[in-house]
Amino acid sequence: MTVQNMISPNGNNVPNQFIISDATITINGHHETGTIFQSYYSTIAFKTYDGKTFLNSKKWDYSTTTGKYRNIFLRESITETRRKIASGQYTLTTLGNI
């Protein structure tokens, strides 16, 4: 597992916003490996290496700052994220903290 601060559009480390690579977590009884976006102490989003995306059902849209960096992590706008949630492409679930 590797933890790095997210990088701002200006190229600076962003405090309290993290990318965790090569993470393995259990979702619905299945072990999944991929990359986590963590804001402060909360896991916000998890992208598996086989293409699935999970969002923390309680915190994925928690604040403006979390949303800004979630959008960067997912490489899309909140409108696109909401569309993918509604279509079932993204799964809302409980994501525990690392």
Q: What is the pLDDT of residues 26-62, one digit of tens each?
A: 888 889 999 999 999 999 999 999 999 999 999 999 9
Q: Which residues contact 2 (CB under 8 A, 6 or more apart)?
A: 20, 21, 22
**What's at 19, amino acid-wise?**
I
Question: What is the predicted pLDDT for the residue at 95?
Answer: 87
d(CA 44, CA 74): 11
Question: What is the predicted pLDDT for the residue at 49?
Answer: 96
79 — pLDDT class (breaks 50, 70, 90): very high
Percent of the chain residues topping a pLDDT of 70: 98
pLDDT at residue 63 tops 70: yes
d(CA 38, CA 14): 12
Look up the pTM and report it: 0.92
